[in-house]
Amino acid sequence: MQMAGYKMHSEQTNFGLLVAAVVLTIAGCGGGTYGGSSDSGSSATPDSNQDTFATDRAFFDARVAPRMEFCRSCHVPGGIADTDDGRRFLLSRNPAEDYDNFYASWQRLGRGTDLNLILTKGSNTADERHDGGGPWPVGSDAYSDVLTLFICWDNPQACDLTTGGGEPITDELPLLGSARGSHLWFDYCEGKPDNEPVPQDPRELVVPGINTGKAVYMNGWWQTCQDDNHPGNCGELRARYDRGYRLVASDSEVGAGHFFGGNYTDAGFAFPASDYNTLWSAAMGLSERPDNFDQLISERWGMPLSQTHNPYPLPGEDPNQTNGGNGQLPIGLTHLRNEDGSWTGRLNVT
Ligand code: HEC
């Protein structure tokens, strides 16, 4: 976006200046989003604090399986750990296969108990530092549970599945993946009722000190710009989304928010669609308007074409006879409308 803004700026088009200014405005407050699992929060299996397990499988399901999501972030085919140094411990994307894969990995890594790489890598006490950090420190419940399991596998005579008591355990969350956009809150609230409380914004955890003892390094701290940032519950989150959508992502809706225009029907920076229609020569230097003008504009400035109807009038078109026109604007531009829904023929940046 910054590049896009700069290029347009250098071409001295009114439109370009606008976009450059908007990009700077947007960059002002941190708006990055993190993808991640929707299974946030804790969920202890009902019998997870039992003291006795009939089989190693039952023990695995209660005490070890909930810890696999974290390892799965990397130890899957095609994942970060699918390398010569990492793939002897390999899970699949299907949790139902975890027991078999965990057992096969333990065998591949030479069986044994506390010296098996699954435990030394998991606790980051192996000779070679573990790229996945040490989520299972020696002495932790996780470490003890996996050790208990390995002792049973290694020597059934010595197997004692009564040692798995202690605190109910929580699912270990996978590392943040890439959902390519969206926010944890929206993933979390999907399918949940309006009164469901929304968890803390994970980005708020990125404060000085967070790097201590971690394998992942954050090089900047999160700042919350608004006091009422947290929506409270899923209903309010959705209500905010609906209100904000019109403002920031509006595709020619009546009352769309636009640059220095609020939700008015015009603004000083708005410009006629006829100007936009000259960009093929004014900005692109072509000798005639290309058939795929809309697509080229979108690609040139990195603004994807809207997936909804986001029209502007083509040369000679009356927008009020053509439902806004037969051109398609990219996301970030909108065709301004009057309160009665009629089209003004003027465009602005949202
Ligand atoms: C962020 C990615 C990541 C996560 C999460 C992760 N690992 Fe790893 N792991 C690696 C990489 C990369 C390697 C190969 C290089 C090395 O040894 O660190 C590796 C290597 C290993 C190995 C050695 C396998 C071999 O073929 O020699 C074991 C065992 C292992 N990890 C266990 C675990 C366990 C258990 C977990 C979950 C508690 C886990 N890892 C979580 C990235 C990860």
So what's the pLDDT on residue 165?
55
User: What is the amino acid identity at position 271?
Assistant: F
Query: Token pair of 295, please?
Result: 């697509």
Ligand 1 centroid distance, CA of 131 (Å): 6
Q: Among 121, 125, 144, which residue has the most ligand 1 atoms within 8 Å of its CB, making it the best to mutate?
A: 121
Ligand 1 center–CA 109 separation, angstroms: 12
Distance (Å) from CA 234 to ligand 1 centroid = 36
Count the neighbouring beta carbons within 10 Å of the beta carbon of residue 250.
22
Q: Distance from CA of residue 250 to its chain's centroid?
A: 22
> Nearest residue CA, atom 11 of ligand 1?
81
The pLDDT value recorded for residue 146 is: 96
The residue nearest atom 43 of ligand 1, judged by CA position, is 132
Angle subtended at Cα 136 by Cα 151 and Cα 103, rounded to the nearest 5 degrees:
40
Atom in ligand 1 nearest the alpha carbon of residue 89: 24
Q: Are the beta carbons of 346 and 266 closer than 8 angstroms?
A: yes
Rg, Å, the chain Cα set: 28
pLDDT at 1: 32
- Alpha-carbon torsion 160, 148, 90, 46, what sign? positive
The encoded tokens of residue 64 equal 């070890």
- Residues of the chain with pLDDT below 70 are 1-51, 163-168, 176-181, 248-250
Q: What is the pLDDT of residue 171?
A: 76
Q: In sequence order, what are the residues at sequence separation of 6 or more whose Cβ sits closer than 8 angstroms to the Cβ of residue 56? A: 149, 152, 153, 159, 161
Burial label, 213 (beta-carbon count in 10 A; 0-12, 13-18, 19+): exposed
> Measuring CA to CA, which residue among 79, 294, 37, 56 is closest to residue 176?
37
